[in-house]
Structure 1
Amino acid sequence: MWTETTPPLAAMLPGTRYFELESEAVGAQFGVWVTTPPRYESETERRYPAIYQPDGNLTAPQTAPAMQMVRDDPINPVEPFIQVSVGYTGEDTTRLLAVRARDLLPPGEPLLPTTNPESLDLLVQAGYLDADAAKLYWHNLQNPAADKFLSFLVDELHPLISGEFRVDDTSTGLWGFSYGGLFATYAALRRTPFSRIGAGSPGIVPQSKVFELYDSEIKDEADYSGRMLHMTVCETEVTAVSPYQAYVGRGATDFITQAGKNPLSGFTFSSKIIPAESHATGLAASWFSFLRHCYSTSSPEATIMCQ
């Protein structure tokens, strides 16, 4: 005999606790998965950096289980950290594409000409969204509010995380993939507690608001000392003929070029192409690239670079 049941969270995500929180800034409810590092319970005097991830419904199950291994990896060991994956609850879990557009796109973010209600109908036909969710997606694409989601992370969630867990605020991190990578790039150019930021395959269109923000910070001679942004792009997003060349490859390479030619004062910027991966398979590889660049303990040089 076998029995279908609902396993405890620890069966899939060891060391993880789950919370739900209503955000005043966004006006929506979020699910939060918090994974502590190995030996967190025994190292009672130690504090750890918190690293935040949007798209928690996808990122938590793909990245949190590796928490048990990356600290003691003999090849690429990383500093132990508290992983905070932020996602959605209830009905929003069935329409992630629509809801995340509200939270992860900067205000006023332009769309490619090929993004229109007719193109979203293809998502309905493919079964990714129903008709109502497609309408919500289009509405959120036209009215994005990453500023409100950023306020939720900084002003509402982080104080709760710091109050419940032993957090070291000197190296708070943020990492996102796809639209999450666009959000991370946007956050990197704002005044926030995030000092180590990773943007994986960011959905940066050629006229993205992040270019406008970057130029404004250059003009103001803003001081970015102590802040790092590590950007990754999957190889096939640049080399293979697909919509991702326009949605990801072109904008990301333009940003990498601009950051290299016209660097912000004190800003540590790095980038890497993830070999062989596509947009569908590059999430985990991008995450580990970020950890190796910003939280590595394998060499003094790597640690100093990210401090």
Structure 2
Amino acid sequence: MAVFWSTGPVELPGAVRYTLVTDDSPTGRWDVSVALPQAGSRADSGPLPVLYLLDGFLTFLTTAQIAQNTLAFSLGQLRPVAIVGISPAIEDRDELSARRARDLTPTSAAGGYHQGRTPHGTGGADAMLDLISEVIAPRVEPAHGLDSADRGLAGFSLGGLFTCWALVRRPEGFRRFLAVSPSLWWDDHLLLDDRRAPFVTRDAGDVYLAVGEREDSPDRSWPVMPAAMRRSLSGLNMVADLAAFTERLRGRPEVDVRSEVIPDEQHATVWPGAVTRGLVHLYRKEAQAASRSGSLNR
């Protein structure tokens, strides 16, 4: 028997990637990837809710596949959702790390692990949110039949910080928020302070928050951190930070929040399970209101 092999790119069904050029600077190019539900999975021809995803280079493919697979097994009880991943159009990981420190942080502050690692500065979250709301959304939503009245925002780590910051300070235009392992330690716990980060009045919104159980101490992480890194992160307790942020949200009647600690997960492993749970919580069709316990599972 003759056997022949050929090679080709691996493609995600229903996905397309755009390159956005905002200026001629080295930091003015962006990848914007759009993943739609697979053909035949939409029950009607109405506009799709859309989830804008930070750190697309880390999370887009995983999230888009989870959204498609979960929808396929949902027995019609999950709303189809389009996933839009946003990332700098570069491949160098060190540069990507530096760019996300600039684009996903709300204030010009850096300390601990980020000290000396921010050549582009920090505090660019306002500009990044403007890019999403004023440039990316107006382009991709009409092109793909997406619902501008049902926008979501999602992120992990610094992307989760960005999502929580937008929820508190600039929620306009977004209906749903999904934040996993948000870096709430940023700027001396800025978002846990009612005086430094007061809530902006907003319409009703749905929120899903999650953190890994083992994110309560750098000493419990995997992979095992070098001693210098552990020292720079000493005292970090992302589980306690999320609990405190959740309590802030509990006092906001317009915000419907579910907050979870995912058993035995840590920063490096928590995203797939947490984003699956978040998508189901935010986009399920049936018994949605009744099933929202709003409790912090620990």
TM-score (norm 1): 0.78
**What's the counterpart of residue 280 of structure 2?**
292
Q: Letter of the aligned partner of 1:185 in structure 2?
A: C
Q: Does 1:195 find its partner at 2:175?
A: yes
Task: From 189, 196, 207, give the equivalent of 1:208.
Answer: 189
- Provide closer, same or farther for how the CA distance between residues 76 and 99 of structure 1 changes in structure 2, counting only shifts above 3 A: farther
Task: From 198, 202, 209, give the equivalent of 1:217.
Answer: 198
**What's the counterpart of residue 133 of structure 1?**
none
* 8 Å CA contact 2:183, 2:238 repeated in 1: yes
Task: From 249, 269, 294, give the equivalent of 2:257.
Answer: 269
Q: Does 1:236 find its partner at 2:214?
A: yes
- Displacement, 1:240? 6.7
**What's the counterpart of residue 122 of structure 1?**
none
Provide, for residues 138-175 of structure 1, a one-character-per-residue CA deviation record: whole Å limited to 9, x for no partner: 334x4331111111001100000112111122221111
- Displacement, 1:18? 0.7
**What's the counterpart of residue 22 of structure 1?**
21
Task: From 146, 169, 174, give the equivalent of 2:148.
Answer: 169
Report the identity percentage: 24
- Displacement, 1:20? 0.6
**What's the counterpart of residue 62 of structure 2?**
62
Structure 1 window deviating more from structure 2 (95-104 vs 194-203): it is 95-104
* 8 Å CA contact 2:206, 2:256 repeated in 1: yes
Which structure has greater helix proportion? 1
1:83-98 aligned within 5 A:
83-92=83-92, 95-98=95-98
Inter-partner Cα distance in structure 2 for 1:19 and 1:154:
16
* 8 Å CA contact 2:184, 2:192 repeated in 1: no
1:20-169 aligned within 5 A:
20-23=19-22, 28-39=28-39, 45-74=45-74, 77-92=77-92, 95-112=95-112, 115-117=114-116, 137-140=117-120, 142-169=121-148
Aligned to 1:280, what secondary structure does the other structure show? coil
Structure 1 window deviating more from structure 2 (94-103 vs 222-231): it is 222-231
* 8 Å CA contact 2:249, 2:255 repeated in 1: no
- Provide closer, same or farther for how the CA distance between residues 273 and 115 of structure 1 changes in structure 2, counting only shifts above 3 A: same
Aligned to 1:193, what secondary structure does the other structure show? coil
Q: Letter of the aligned partner of 2:258 in structure 1?
A: S
Inter-partner Cα distance in structure 1 for 2:6 and 2:99:
31
- Provide closer, same or farther for how the CA distance between residues 302 and 289 of structure 1 changes in structure 2, counting only shifts above 3 A: farther
For structure 2, list consecutive stretches of 5 or more residues without a partner in the other structure.
221-229
Inter-partner Cα distance in structure 2 for 1:235 and 1:76:
31
Structure 1 window deviating more from structure 2 (277-286 vs 203-212): it is 203-212
- Displacement, 1:71? 1.6
Give the number of aligned pairs.
Answer: 276
Q: Letter of the aligned partner of 2:265 in structure 1?
A: E
- Provide closer, same or farther for how the CA distance between residues 255 and 154 of structure 1 changes in structure 2, counting only shifts above 3 A: same
* 8 Å CA contact 1:293, 1:302 repeated in 2: no
- Displacement, 1:229? 2.2
Inter-partner Cα distance in structure 1 for 2:237 and 2:288:
37
Q: Letter of the aligned partner of 1:210 in structure 2?
A: L
- Provide closer, same or farther for how the CA distance between residues 65 and 158 of structure 1 changes in structure 2, counting only shifts above 3 A: same
* 8 Å CA contact 2:211, 2:242 repeated in 1: yes
TM-score (norm 2): 0.80
- Displacement, 1:267? 1.7
Inter-partner Cα distance in structure 1 for 2:136 and 2:203:
25
Provide, for residues 250-276 of structure 1, a one-character-per-residue CA deviation record: whole Å limited to 9, x for no partner: 43232123333xx12412222011111
Provide, for residues 115-146 of structure 1, a one-character-per-residue CA deviation record: whole Å limited to 9, x for no partner: 433xxxxxxxxxxxxxxxxxxx3334x43311
- Provide closer, same or farther for how the CA distance between residues 301 and 169 of structure 1 changes in structure 2, counting only shifts above 3 A: same
* 8 Å CA contact 1:234, 1:276 repeated in 2: yes
Q: Letter of the aligned partner of 2:213 in structure 1?
A: E
- Provide closer, same or farther for how the CA distance between residues 213 and 106 of structure 1 changes in structure 2, counting only shifts above 3 A: farther
1:249-264 aligned within 5 A:
249-260=239-250, 263-264=251-252
- Displacement, 1:5? 4.2
Aligned to 2:34, what secondary structure does the other structure show? strand
